[in-house]
Amino acid sequence: MALAGIVLAAGAVLFAAIRLFSGADPDRLPQPPRLSAQQKVIEDHLRERYDAAVDDPSSIAAVGALCIAYHSDMFFDHAERCYEVAETLAPDGWRWIYYRAVIQSERGGGEALLANLRTVVERAPQLGPAWLRLGEAEFKAGRYDEAATAWQKARDVPAAAAETTSPRHVTEVPLSAYASLGLARIALVKGDVDGARTILEQVNAATSGFGPALRLLADSYRQLGREDEATRLVYRAGRLPPFTPYADPVIDELARESRNSIFLLRVASEANLAINAEWSEYLTRRALEFDPNNPEVVLKLARILRTVERNEEALILFERYKQMVPGDYQVLAHIGSCLSAMGRFGEAESYFREALKGLDDPVTHYNMGLLLALTGRVNEAIKEYELALERDPMHSDARTNLAAALARQGRLDRAAAELRRLLEHDPENAGARTNLGLVLLQQGHREQARTQLEEALRLNPQLAPAAEALRELGSGL
């Protein structure tokens, strides 16, 4: 019996040694939580990945898939514990450490985040997003020299190859712009306002649609006493998307895996629809598939489709949302906008008027004005544009359309004044310069008109109305 006990003990030790050697320890894998009936799709997702990992605990593919599932469904504690197991299976890699760092970044960082990111960039020095995150972590820790080094590395990393997976998530702003923004922040913290200005002007020249750089450049100009230029930059920045994180491929992988509508909506909302409408729609449709009774998902998809002018599809979803959330005046305005774009002006007008009983926002007044102008009621349209501008003096479309309506009535002096006011804040608005040139031409101010039209074409050489007006001027007409 004693001999048998020794043999059994030796077998247990041998079995444990085999498990240790292989790095496989299914008992360390966090089990999926029990969720509500509404979250059954998430529970099924996690259970499927968990069962596969337990069946093959030595497979980094199976264990890694479980970790990503926890992460993408926003069970961060489970994901972190799982990534620890994944790291034992791939001790010389960087991937699972980086995923843990992404979670730590969302939770505020700290020394553990810094340590993990330093390990990642040491093992994967061409991983630009990791350098970007490291710069941010060092900056928050007050280590400005270290942050500058990290952001310089991020700025100089060669651009990654374009994604080929469908639907593509197109990089909207290059990594170098985000890194340079960080370097400008350091310059400002150190009191080097002119250094920050130089960096930000270079960013703006290379990436003119990066709103955060424009806002920070406006701050630099203001500190340098260049108040007028600062005001114009703030106006331009207000027409651009707000700050969004860099399009990290790791986040995209999480989004493609996720069954959590909150996470999917967040990533979808970060996309600029002018560039990434397909990507945003894909994520929102996934959210709707997994959470079909969530009104926020329905509304988000409707707004995406309205933005890309798929109005019939958008209208169905707006009406569905209206049934889910009765009494929401904003959705009435959305329905009116869809109907107006479809040429159903009578129905649209009734929705706008109903919406305005509970809304008093510039967008709804502007849309109402546009409808009235399209249906020949110019005086009423002017009043709505003026109401829009009272609520938002920087609403450039309302001011542009107001000027056009005034010009239609022959009120050329006021039309020109409205366009000049618009150009004070937005001097690079080629459309406004063209319109001002045309108004000046009607007033008989030929040389002033020529100046405006030439500048419009310099800003946008494809502007046919400006080119045609200049040809008329040249022919003496």
Report the alpha-carbon distance of residue 448 to residue 433 in Å, rounded: 11
Contacts of 303 (CB under 8 A, 6+ apart): 314, 334
H helical segments located in 357-463: 362-374, 378-391, 396-408, 412-425, 430-443, 446-459
8 A C-beta contact, residue 413 and residue 433: no
8 A C-beta contact, residue 158 and residue 126: yes
Contacts 24+ apart (CB under 8 A), 364-373: 364/333, 364/336, 365/391, 365/398, 366/395, 366/397, 366/398, 366/401, 367/333, 367/336, 367/337, 367/340, 368/336, 369/398, 369/401, 369/402, 370/340, 370/401, 371/336, 371/340, 371/345, 373/401, 373/404, 373/405
Average model confidence (pLDDT) for the chain? 92
167, two tokens: 């639907």
List every span in the chain annotated with CATH 1.25.40.10: 11-126, 175-238, 255-475
CA angle 365, 357, 242 (to 5 degrees): 45
Other Cβ atoms less than 10 A from the Cβ of 228: the count is 10
11-68: pLDDT as tens digits: 444 444 434 444 556 788 999 998 887 799 999 999 999 999 999 999 999 999 999 9
151, two tokens: 């952001």
115-174: pLDDT as tens digits: 999 999 999 999 999 999 999 999 999 999 999 999 999 999 998 777 778 899 999 999
CA of 124: how far to CAs of 31, 47, 120, 146, in Å? 31, 32, 6, 18
Report the alpha-carbon distance of residue 283 to residue 285 in Å, rounded: 5
Report the alpha-carbon distance of residue 266 to residue 253 in Å, rounded: 14
- 258-294 burial, b if ≥16 CB within 10 A, otherwise e? bbbbebbbbbbebbbbebbbbbbbbbbebbbebbeeb
Q: What is the pLDDT of residue 5?
A: 47
Q: What is the pLDDT of residue 475?
A: 60
Percentage of the chain beyond pLDDT 70 is 94
Question: Which amino acid is located at 437 in the chain?
Answer: G
CA torsion angle 318 324 330 336 (round to 10):
30
Q: pTM of the entire structure?
A: 0.88
26, two tokens: 């299914």
Report the alpha-carbon distance of residue 220 to residue 222 in Å, rounded: 5
Report the alpha-carbon distance of residue 433 to residue 454 in Å, rounded: 9
Domain made up of 175-238: CATH architecture: Alpha Horseshoe (1.25)
Across the range 302-329, mean pLDDT stands at 97
Among 179, 209, 212, which Cα is nearest to 274's?
209
Confidence check: pLDDT of 476 > 70:
no
178-218: pLDDT as tens digits: 999 999 999 999 999 999 999 999 999 999 889 999 999 99
Report the alpha-carbon distance of residue 66 to residue 72 in Å, rounded: 10
Confidence check: pLDDT of 4 > 50:
no
Q: What is the domain class of 11-126 according to CATH?
A: mainly alpha
Domain made up of 255-475: CATH architecture: Alpha Horseshoe (1.25)
Q: What is the pLDDT of residue 15?
A: 42
366-407: pLDDT as tens digits: 999 999 999 999 999 999 999 999 999 999 999 999 999 999
Q: What is the pLDDT of residue 100?
A: 97
Q: What is the pLDDT of residue 24?
A: 54
8 A C-beta contact, residue 394 and residue 371: no
49, two tokens: 């990945």
